[in-house]
Structure 1
Amino acid sequence: MANPTAALHDPDTYTHGVPFELIEQLRASGPVHWVDEPALPGLPEGSGYHLVIDHAPVTEVVRDPATYSSALGGTQIRDPATPRDLDYVRRMMLNMDPPEHTRLRKLIAASFTPRAVRALEERISGHAKGIVDRMLDGPRECDFAKDVAADLPLLTLADILGVPAQDRGLMFDWSNRVIGFLDADYASSASFDAGQGTSLAREAVALRPSPDADGRMPDPRGRDGMPDLYRYAHLLGDAKRADPGDDVMSILLAQRTDDGGELSVEEFENMFWLFAVAGNETLRNGLPGAMIALLSNPEAMAALRNDPSLIPGAVDELLRWWTPVMTFRRTATCDTSLAGTSVRAGDKVVVSYLGANRDPAVFERPDELLIGRKPNNHRVFGHGPHVCVGAHFARVQMAHLFREVLGRTRAIQLGGEPALLRSNFQRGVKRLPIRWAA
């Protein structure tokens, strides 16, 4: 009999949708399950891992960095290819443990000043209106994932990072390459036209890698796989130190730690990677995921259209129902026990946010979209020390966009089958054709 967890590891599975029935079958026999890592197209063989699918042990893992480390092996299921690659990913905040993680997180938190937050919220509102203006000006059909959802996080991140508007398409390609490294449509993404960008963009794009003889791109988690991103970040950091703006990254570069230190060039480059890629991709998939949720539940869409005041409260439920980031990895620092399962030092422990967000012990009728659900203790943004620093802005963007889309249309329906990302990490939407009546 085949290992029932094999489908959960195989990225091909998710091009057809999440196998929620399989997750519930596994949940019935326990909250933690062993998953083998056979070699698959684009994925090398691995040591295997403990998959945690219940809400309580997922929360336990992500709250306890002393026992379950982000730094020991990084936060992706697949191991970095070499010790050098592992050393490099450890320099990114996502793959740090306290106290190093805490130091950088404090600098970021201090950079989101009340004034900067207010300005960003105003810009988000304007961006959402402009995007829907363009949507309604064209034919009454579009690809919601590419033509609508992809633009808002790019515009918001350009504001946060101080990236000139003409260069924001770079972030679209960078995100595709990192998050979609297992998907042939995304792995070598190069849609940005350097001729339309700034001199910084042209210098960076000159370093953009090309596929090898087998059509494979270098691992995008390391510096060697993203030389164009790191060059752009370096040039942008230099420019901001010389001539600061009012964006969050300029504020961040001016921050000083308690001992008088400042963000190093390498730390800034890695911070830029984190914002430009992770800050983009979660919402870029969460927005079309939320649209799929509403198309699957027309009564919920009607309720939000009839009473827009419900939209901010519904955002968390839309995100829970879709759950853009499906998994995150930790590595056990010592022999321990997790929900009755023995875990050895060095074992990979992978939390399933998908599983946690459908746990019937926490969520009544977990498979249903209940836009008034309260409380809604989901794990879309993680939990504990690594809870997403951009959660507030993700919620604000989703609320503004759906307020515009629903408030300015009379009906929306699916215009074709969605195309889903080949990934066991990000629940991605590559294409979502819709039609509407204005």
Structure 2
Amino acid sequence: MDHAAGAPSVPAVPDVFDPRTYAAGIPHARYRILRDHHPVAWQAEPEVLGWPAGPGFWAVTRHADVVRVLRDHAGYSSHLGATQIRDPAPADLPFIRRTMLNQDPPDHGRLRRMLARAFTPARVDAFEGRVRERARGLLAAARDAAVDGSVEVVGAITDEYALLGLADLMGVPAADRGLLLEWTVRIIGYQDPEDAPPPRLGPDGVPLDPRSPALLGEMFDYARELAAVKRARPADDLMSVLARAELAEGELEMFFFLLTVAGNDTVRSAAPGGLLALARAPDAGRQLTAGLVPVDRAVDELLRVHPPVLSFRRTATRDVVLAGRRIRAGDKVVVFHAAANHDERVFVDPGRTDLGRSPNPHVSFGDGPHVCLGAHFARLQLRVLHEEWRAALPPPELTGEPKRLVSNFINGITRLPLRVSGRCG
């Protein structure tokens, strides 16, 4: 017999790879099975939505193991295979490795220090007044344009809010900010048949990776042109600092790529995700509107509930044992942020949106050497948005079904109808 009489059987390993799963919401029940019974679990990687099959990977779902992987850059590399589950084309990998996100120390540290000199807390804080003005204007316009008191807030508020904040910080002219959204959707939303344009095929008939240099020429041309303008007429923005820095060939373009995509999509995902979390926890929404909880603490809880990024991939550099499973050198190891953020070993009653939760060691901005450099700016934008929302609008209330991005990478919301007129707190 496989089991002693009456002994409970161990549940099978559930699939958390298929991007279509996430269109129905974060699969918390599957994550709990993995955390409780298979904390490091092998996942198949079949062909999905026209993208080729891969060799499979290890899914890491417990908080302690996720933090261990993210902190151990010597054992789990960002550089070897980059940081998304799906393997890039071998011809594209050297190019993809040039971005800071896909490097390991010490090379990663050199690039991070360079960007940190431009991305100072003082520079970010100086943008608060402008961010607040943007939030007020967008919220007022949405309220005025509401139909039967409701508006689709992704298109009316949060996409534009994320773009305006990023464009201000980077020094991108307002007339060009739509380009940032176009590039972000192309790169981030590539798994979603509705959100992304049809994929371009390479000579072998396989869809080109959205990170491929063959698809980024327009973005890189723009980055070089903008840098030339900033050298001639510098301002207090990130691109002016980077344009005058001593960068190796291609580094300016890769910084622009990283800021445009990661800098935009962090808030673009977290802002509607936080509003959706409040709409689904109306008591918490009323608490926030009534000023009963600190907004900065509430923002961190909303980030825990709705992390902008679902997963990040590392590649094992050597044979290791993690949570009792033997991982071979070269295996893909994927950490799942939303699973770690709901680990009952760390968070009391993790399914409840507790805006006063403290401590709150969520991993929504990562951990270790790759912890999000823009976390301060993201928190500022989210705090200001919620402060201005509670001053002008009623607590978030759904007026229709939200729509989620088809992606196992980004926790995106593409449609969110909410009530924007009525009694304010």
Question: What TM-score comes out, normalization by structure 1 length?
Answer: 0.89
Amino acid at match of 2:150: E
Greater shift, 115-124 or 160-169, is seen at: 115-124
Match of 2:141 in 1: 134
The one of 260, 263, 268 aligned to 1:276: 260
Deviation of the 1:68 alpha carbon = 0.4
Distance verdict in 2 for CA 1:411–1:92, change over 3 Å: closer
C-alpha contact (below 8 Å) 2:13/2:38 kept by paired residues: no
The yes-or-no answer on 1:357 pairing with 2:341 is yes
From the superposition, tell whether residues 80 and 154 of structure 1 become closer, same or farther in structure 2 (CA, over 3 Å): same
1:345-364 CA distance string (max 9 Å, x none): 10000001111100000000
Please give the per-residue CA displacement for 1:281-318, whole angstroms capped at 9, x wherever unaligned: 12111111111110111111111111176212100000
For the 8 Å contact 2:142–2:151, the answer to whether it is kept is: yes
Structure 2 counterpart of 1:17:
25
Distance 1:292 1:99 in 2: 39
Secondary structure at 1:25 match in 2: helix
State whether structure 2 residue 35 is matched by structure 1 residue 51. Answer: no
Instruction: Pick one of 265, 273, 278 that aligns with 1:289.
Output: 273
Is 1:171 the counterpart of 2:177? The answer is: no
Which residue in 2 is equivalent to 1:237? 227
CA separation of 1:388 and 1:412: change in aligned 2, threshold 3 A: closer
Q: Which amino acid aligns with 1:321?
A: V
Aligned partner (choices 229, 239, 253) of residue 243 of structure 2: 253
Q: Report the CA distance between 1:423 and its aligned residue.
A: 0.5
| Structure 1 counterpart of 2:159 | 150
1:16–1:104 CA distance, 2 compared to 1 (3 A): same
Report deviation, 1:31. Answer: 1.6
- For 1:65, the equivalent position in structure 2 comes to 73
Query: Does the 8 Å contact 2:301/2:354 carry over to 1?
Result: yes
Cα distance, 1:77–1:4 mapped onto 2, change above 3 Å: farther
1:22-73: per-residue Cα shift (whole Å, max 9, x none)? Answer: 1111222132101011111132111111110001111011101111000000
Match of 1:125 among 129, 132, 139: 132
Q: Distance in 1 between matches of 2:66 and 2:312?
A: 10
**Alignment of structure 1 residues 211-230 onto 2, 5 Å:** 218-230=208-220
1:216 CA displacement: 8.7
Q: Indicate the residue corresponding to 1:97 in structure 2.
A: 104
Question: Does structure 1 residue 42 correspond to structure 2 residue 50?
Answer: yes
Does the 8 Å contact 2:134/2:164 carry over to 1?
A: yes
Match of 2:251 in 1: 267
Q: Quote how far apart the aligned CAs of 1:437 are.
A: 2.4
Q: Structure 2 residue aligned with 1:386, among 359, 370, 391?
A: 370
Report the counterpart of residue 196 of structure 1 in structure 2: none
User: How big is the shift at 1:399?
Assistant: 0.9
4+ runs deviating over 3 angstroms: 3-7, 209-218
Structure 2 residue 299 is matched with structure 1 residue 315: yes
1:200 aligned partner: none
Contact 1:320 1:380 (8 Å CA) reproduced = yes
**How far apart are the structure 2 equivalents of 1:335 and 1:144?**
47
Contact 2:293 2:355 in 1 (8 A): no
Structure 1 distance, partners of 2:326, 2:365, is: 27
Distance 1:4 1:147 in 2: 43
Amino acid at match of 1:312: D
Task: Tell me what 1:406 maps to.
Answer: 390
The 3 A distance-change label for structure 1 pair 380 and 110 is same
Letter in 1 for 2:309: V
1:227-283 deviation line (CA, Å, top 9, x unaligned): 21111112112222232221122123334xxxxxx1235111011011101111121
Q: What letter corresponds to residue 229 of structure 2 in structure 1?
A: A
Report Cα offsets for 1:318-364 as digits up to 9, x if no partner.
01011221100000111111121111110000001111100000000
Match of 1:343 among 327, 331, 339: 327
Question: Shift of residue 393 of structure 1?
Answer: 0.9
Task: Give, in whole Å, the separation in 2 of the partners of 1:366 and 1:118.
Answer: 31
Which one is further off, 47-56 or 213-222?
213-222
Of 183, 187, 193, the match for 1:184 = 193
Determine whether 1:87 maps to 2:94.
Answer: yes
Distance 1:412 1:381, change over 3 A: closer
